[in-house]
Chains A and B, each alone.
Chain A
Amino acid sequence: MSSNKHAVDGQKVRKVFRISSLALSIVFWLLLFLMPSVSSAAIDTIAVDVGISVFKTMPIGVVPFTEPKNSIEWIEEKPHQILTRDAELSGRFEVVPSEKFNLALFSKKKAKHYITGKVTPTDGGKLRLECFLYVSQTKDILLGEAYTITQQDLRKAMHQFFDQVIYRLWAERGVASTKLAYVSKIDGIKQVVVSDYDGFHRSQITRDTVISMMPVWMKDNKGLVYVNFKTNRPKLYSRMFGGTEKVLFPQLDQTYSPAVNPVTGELLFSNTVDGKTDLYIGSPKTGKARKFAYLKSNQTSPAWSPFASEVLFTSDRGGGPQIFIMGKDGSDMRRVTFMGRYNERASWSPSGDRIAYTSMDNGKMNIYTCALDGSDIVQLTNNAGNNEHPTWSPDGKLIAFSSNRSGSYQIYIMRMDGSNVTRITNSGENTSPTWSFFYEDSNKQEGAK
């Protein structure tokens, strides 16, 4: 019966098409209602905003690596455990774990692919890892990589392999080899630390008797810029990895809120003189800085758009903090947030279409995203302590943030729709994460140069 109607409607369309486009659109909508199965895809792409997961996750089988019996003493996690964690954190996959290859299980769970490998100890005390991505049904090898490494480098190798898997299956770069910088309270003093994106392999960057905070990554991940209080006022410093600390813009008074231009490496930041806070732009290389925009209000928390054509910032011109956008030349300023009285610290998604920010309501901080015109607001965290300082993963799939939902402040990762919240730090107090850029060398297949 429905197919009959179908045919009739189809005729109608052809007829009306010649008559008027208005009639056409009416019939089109009629068609939509009559053919839900055909039209659903179109509707889905429009309605992505309502807190339903926007992620299409791909089931993937993960099978433990084969290894000679009792020959390896694992000091941390085993290879498949690291890959499982990468897959779960990535926001792209749904892991189908299995002790061995199991086509029935993989088929049932729609895992078209699976990853596994083989470990062999070498004579030099190292491990040789052969890692494979297979097609479940045919057992065809889609990707094979071999690494000969010490156990200390196991996680690094597995992250690299996993990013290759993502590239093979998604034709996109993954973030398993990226890092986070954040602030960790060590012996009661806030210090800047860096860890792998999954919280492992933490290393301390500052070792000071006064607090350090607000770390951000320099261009190409060569070092960090952060704030330190050793001169009894907030001041920006930079430190190349493996290098020494350098004070930035000593000619200015109180400098903080750094944001690195992803194209030029310049710094946009706040400078406070006698109670008035303005945005400044400066070069860490030459040490020169100038005022970025001449405005009556106070400005802080700048953030660059992905290609550095525009900036987000917070202004107190309405009394409390609200988020604004302006061009990189200070032109075309417009307000983004209108809901609530406290919207702060916006950051631009790598795809450029949304911003993440922190909003305070009833004294509680929560993370939101919205479109660039302030519409389509989505609350990502709710009813779980304070949730602050969102930072996008370079592939735009994830957001790291700090929350005191467990009692103390710790770092968490969630998908950019608020789902799949995973804690990645466990002890002490950890805040203010910022995600690194992609590491150029770990993605050879991009072949940029």
Chain B
Amino acid sequence: MNKIKLALISGAACVAMVACSKPQPPQTDPAAAPAASATAQQPAGTETAPEAVENAAPVDQDSLAAEQARLEAEKIAADKARLESERARLEQLINQIMSEDVYFDFDRSELTEKAKELLAQVAELLLRETRFTITIEGHTDARGTEDYNFTLGAKRAMKVKEFLNAYGVEGKRMESVSYGKEAPKVEGASEEAYSQNRRANFRVNIKD
């Protein structure tokens, strides 16, 4: 019985997640999301109801409390799902902006003009979406030693952080980390692959 409930709740959460992540345009205003997830919950809720009533007759109050807890959990799950999808959307948006151009030259950590333009867009986004924090990951291409590439990746991530900071994004919202040459975007030993891998990318986190 409990297991069934749990399954249904998570099912509802899934529906909610799909509902609010899929059909919405990229520029969602936050108010639309709860509405969408609320409607998504409706059918899921009615589905569980008959089952709950059948077995619940003898222990009425217990089941009532359980029902309330369930609704509570559903709400929290929906909230979380909504925030999560927002986060995913922002992360995708930022990484999409950055992926248009790879912006470090070999063994360099200076930002190119193109990179600065793109980072300005990222900064605008971050200034608008104040609930999110970011982790900036610095990467290098496959050439060179593991050790030195860690320091190089760190320098690149730092340059990005400094730029965003100068643009007004608070330093405490940003964390930088180096992956050196350990997490290439593209495998291979061509200049094409190398230039794709000399990059910084972003992970977006939700501030607690």
Contact = CB atoms under 8 A, between A and B. Distances in A.
Contact of B147 (A190, A233, A256, A342): A256
B177 A257 contact: no
B180 A298 contact: no
Contacts of A276: 154, 158
Given A234-B180, A275-B157, A316 B151 contact: yes
Interface in A267-317: 270, 272, 274-277, 298, 300-301, 314, 316
Interface in B159-202: 159, 161, 176-180, 182
B182 A300 contact: no
B163 to A, nearest CB: 12
Interface string A379-393: 000000000110000
A214 B157 contact: no
A257 B150 contact: yes
Interface stretch (A26-34, A106-114, A357-365): A357-365
Contact of B148 (A232, A321, A363): A321
Contact of B151 (A190, A214, A277, A360): A277
Contacts of B155: 275, 298
A243 B144 CA distance: 33
A365 B144 contact: yes
B117 interface: no
B46 interface: no
A432 B147 CA distance: 11
A249 interface: no
A211 interface: yes
A275 B176 CA distance: 7
Contacts of B148: 300-301, 314, 316, 321, 344-345
Interface size class of B (residues with CB under 8 A): 20 to 34
Contacts of B178: 233-234, 254, 272
B145 A270 contact: no
Given A211-B182, A320-B107, A274 B176 contact: yes
A16 to B, nearest CB: 56
Contacts of B157: 275
A160 B144 CA distance: 37
B101 interface: no
Nearest to A231: B177
Contact of A234 (B107, B135, B150): B150
Nearest to B141: A363
A365 B135 CA distance: 32
A356 interface: no
B154 to A, nearest CB: 5
Nearest to A389: B145
Given A277-B154, A358-B145, 16 more contacts: A190-B182, A229-B179, A234-B180, A254-B150, A270-B150, A272-B154, A272-B178, A274-B158, A274-B161, A316-B148, A316-B151, A320-B107, A342-B107, A365-B144, A388-B145, A389-B145
Q: Nearest 9 pairs between A and B by C-beta?
A: A275-B158, A277-B151, A301-B147, A272-B154, A257-B147, A300-B147, A344-B145, A298-B151, A233-B177
Interface of B: 107, 135, 143-148, 150-151, 154-155, 157-159, 161, 176-180, 182
